[in-house]
C-alpha cells in the first residue's frame, strides 16, 4: 500500500479482502449443495469487517439471506440497497413493528407478546408478517423452551396476520467434539419441536440450526438453511471441532500500521506504563500509532508480536490507548514508515485472529469485532 493513501491521516488501517470473502462463501455453497439456503451472518458490522460492503459482495455471489442482530442493522442494509431477505436474529423491541414491515425485515420471535404486537401492526397495515420462531433447546438465551412448545403453538394460532415461515434453534457447543452428545440432544429436542408445529398445522418454509461449526460437522437432511458466521470471514482454529477436516478458508481481514518512531534504548531501561518490560540488551524500539482504543487489545501487552519486513517483532511493554511499542533490534534495515502487519500475512509470516484471541484470552470473533471505528476499512476486490 502506498503511504500517500494516508497523506492527511494516521497510517493505521484494516484491509478487507472481498475476494477472500467470496471464496469462503463459494466453499460453503459447494459443501451444502444447491438445495440448502445460506444465511450469511453480517451482524455486528459483519464481525467488524463492514456489513454493507460484505453484504453487497455476498449478494452478488447469490447469498440467499442475511442475518443481523437488530432491526437497526437490517435497516442500514436496506438503506444501502440490499434486497435479499434479512432475518433479525435477536428479535425486535416494542415500537419497532412498523419498521419491520416497512423495510421487509423478518424477525425471530420467542414471546407471545412480541407476536401479538407484530400481528396488530400487520393487521393495521393489511399485511402478513413472516416470522421465524426460535426454540431454546439448551443455549439458554432466547427461545421458546422446548418443553413449552405445545402450549406456544396452541396460543399462537389466534394471530391471523402472522405467518410462521421458519423454525430455528442455536447450538451451544457444535465446535466442541467432547460435547457431541449435548449437541445431539439439542437437535433431538429441535426435531421434536418441529414435529409439534407441523402436527398443529404450521408449514414453515425454513428449518435451521447450523452455525459455522455445525454446517460442516452436522449435516442434516431435515434442515434447509444454514447460518455461517465466522467461517465466512476465514476463522478456522476456534470455529470447527478438532475431529473434522476444516475447510480451506481464507482470512478476510488484515490490520496494518507503520513505524512512527525509532529509538535506540540501552540495556536495563524500562518501557511503557507500569514499567512491565525491561530491555535485556541494547535495543532498537519502534513506536506504532495504534493502541487499545483501536481494538489492539491491552491484553496483548508483552505477549503478541507483529510482522516487519516479513519478520516477527515482539510487542514490548503495555499496549496503551493510542500507541504500541515493538522491539525491532533483529529486523535488518528497519526504517521509519515501514509497514507493520499486526494481523495477516507478510511473505511467509502470518498472524491470525485466532492466535491474537488466544493470547488475549478470548476468541477470533471478539478480536475482529473489537477493531474500532477509528480504524478505516479499505476494501479490496
Give me the active site residues, please. Answer: 43, 273
Give dist(CA 63, CA 133) in Å, integer: 22
Helix (H) or strand (E) holding 206: strand 206-210
> Concatenated DSSP letters for 159-206?
-TTEEEEEEE---SSTT-GGGHHHHHHHHHHHHHHHHHHHHTT---SE
With CA atoms as reference, report the closest residue to 377 among 14, 12, 20: 14
Question: Cell numbers 466442541 label which residue?
Answer: 176
Give me the residues paired with residue 187 across strands: none
Contact 213, 175 (CB under 8 A): yes
Helix (H) or strand (E) holding 18: helix 18-32
Strands 253-258 and 339-346: antiparallel
Give dist(CA 69, CA 90) in Å, integer: 5
Helix, strand, coil fractions of the chain, as percent rounded to 5 = 35, 25, 40
Q: How many CB atoms lie within 10 A of CB 180?
A: 15
Show Cβ contacts of residue 332 under 8 Å, excluding neighbours closer than 6 positions: 309
Amino acid at each position: 500500500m502506498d503511504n500517500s493513501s494516508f497523506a492527511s491521516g494516521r497510517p493505521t488501517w484494516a484491509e478487507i479482502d472481498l475476494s477472500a470473502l467470496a471464496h469462503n462463501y463459494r466453499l460453503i455453497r459447494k459443501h451444502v449443495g444447491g438445495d440448502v439456503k445460506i444465511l450469511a451472518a453480517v451482524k455486528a458490522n459483519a464481525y467488524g469487517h463492514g456489513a454493507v460492503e460484505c453484504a453487497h459482495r455476498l449478494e452478488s455471489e447469490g447469498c440467499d439471506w442475511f442475518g443481523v442482530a437488530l432491526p437497526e442493522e437490517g435497516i442500514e442494509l436496506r438503506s444501502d440497497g440490499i434486497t435479499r431477505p434479512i432475518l433479525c436474529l435477536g428479535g425486535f423491541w416494542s415500537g419497532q413493528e412498523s419498521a419491520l414491515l416497512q423495510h421487509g425485515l423478518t424477525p425471530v420471535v420467542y414471546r407471545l407478546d412480541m407476536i401479538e404486537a407484530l400481528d396488530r401492526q400487520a393487521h393495521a397495515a393489511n399485511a402478513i408478517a413472516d416470522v421465524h420462531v426460535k426454540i431454546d433447546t439448551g443455549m439458554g438465551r432466547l427461545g421458546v423452551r422446548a418443553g413449552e412448545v405445545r402450549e406456544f403453538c396452541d396460543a399462537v394460532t389466534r394471530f391471523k396476520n402472522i405467518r410462521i415461515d421458519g423454525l430455528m434453534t442455536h447450538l451451544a457447543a457444535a465446535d466442541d467434539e467432547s460435547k457431541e452428545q449435548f449437541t445431539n440432544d439439542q437437535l433431538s429436542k429441535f426435531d421434536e419441536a418441529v414435529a409439534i408445529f407441523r402436527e398443529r398445522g404450521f408449514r414453515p418454509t425454513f428449518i435451521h440450526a447450523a452455525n459455522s461449526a455445525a454446517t460442516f460437522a452436522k449435516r442434516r437432511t431435515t434442515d434447509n438453511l444454514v447460518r455461517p458466521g465466522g467461517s465466512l470471514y476465514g476463522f478456522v482454529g476456534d470455529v470447527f471441532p478438532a475431529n473434522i477436516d476444516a475447510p480451506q478458508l481464507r482470512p478476510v481481514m488484515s490490520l496494518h500500521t507503520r513505524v512512527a518512531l525509532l529509538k535506540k534504548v540501552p540495556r536495563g531501561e524500562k518501557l511503557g506504563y507500569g514499567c512491565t518490560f525491561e530491555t535485556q540488551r541494547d535495543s532498537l524500539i519502534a513506536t506504532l500509532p495504534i493502541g487499545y482504543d483501536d481494538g489492539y487489545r491491552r491484553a496483548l501487552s508483552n505477549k503478541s508480536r507483529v510482522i516487519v519486513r516479513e519478520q516477527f517483532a515482539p510487542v514490548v511493554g503495555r499496549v496503551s490507548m493510542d500507541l504500541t511499542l515493538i522491539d525491532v533490534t533483529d529486523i535488518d534495515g528497519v526504517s521509519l514508515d515501514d509497514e507493520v502487519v499486526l494481523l495477516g500475512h507478510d511473505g511467509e509470516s502470518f498472524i491470525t485472529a485466532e492466535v491474537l484471541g488466544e493470547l488475549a484470552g478470548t476468541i477470533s470473533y471478539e478480536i475482529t469485532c473489537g477493531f474500532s471505528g477509528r480504524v478505516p476499512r479499505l476494501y479490496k476486490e
